[in-house]
């Protein structure tokens, strides 16, 4: 299966993978755990966490927020977006104008009222590119 990432194919890992494939939305580890538990009652939450991290590190799944974890206050009051380094997790600012995305405001399909855009540009910062040579 998808385990050319150097991961052993264990029963637990396989079931977690299958369940993730068939879930939709943005499940939390607890939600995944609850589903997996129905098929493997003896599984532990720690195992679910470990495997979710492995899947994310391997790029098999993404996580929704690249900078979840702790509360961060935005001190830059100018319109700007974020450059998020996927390697070192650093976040730096870039002026909205400099990035130049044409963002639609107002109603979107589905009736959602768009008021503000928060863009994360994911990639590698200059420093991590140098190290990756």
Partner DNA sequence: GTTCTTGCAAAGGATTTGCATCCTC
Partner DNA sequence: GAGGATGCAAATCCTTTGCAAGAAC
88 is in an annotated binding site: yes
From the list 6-14, 36-44, 121-129, the region that binds its own copies by CB under 8 A is 121-129
CB of 99 to DNA, least distance (A): 27
Stretch of 1-9, 38-46, 81-89 lying at the interface with its own copies (CB under 8 A): 81-89
Contact call for residues 90 and 126 (beta carbons, < 8 A): no
Told to check if 117 binds its own copies by CB under 8 A, we report yes
CA gap 110, 112 in Å, rounded: 6
Q: Could you say whether residue 47 binds its own copies (CB under 8 A)?
A: no
Residue 2: name its binding partner from DNA, its own copies, none (Cβ under 5 to 8 Å by kind).
Answer: none
CB 86 within 8 A of CB 66: yes
Q: Is 85 annotated as a binding residue?
A: yes
Rounded to whole angstroms, what are the CA distances from 103 to 12, 108, 109, 123? 43, 11, 14, 21
């Amino acid at each position: 299966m998808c385990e050319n990432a150097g991961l052993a194919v264990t029963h637990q890992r396989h079931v977690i993978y299958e369940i993730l494939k068939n879930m939709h939305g943005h499940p939390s580890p607890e939600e995944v755990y609850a589903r997996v538990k129905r098929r493997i009652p003896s599984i532990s939450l720690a195992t679910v966490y470990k495997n979710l991290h492995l899947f994310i590190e391997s790029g098999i799944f993404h996580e929704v927020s690249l900078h979840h974890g702790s509360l961060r206050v935005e001190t830059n009051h100018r319109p700007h977006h974020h450059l998020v380094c996927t390697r070192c997790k650093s976040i730096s600012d870039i002026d909205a104008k400099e990035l130049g995305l044409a963002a639609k405001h107002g109603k979107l399909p589905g009736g959602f009222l768009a008021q503000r855009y928060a863009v994360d540009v994911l990639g590698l910062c200059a420093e991590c590119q140098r190290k990756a040579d």
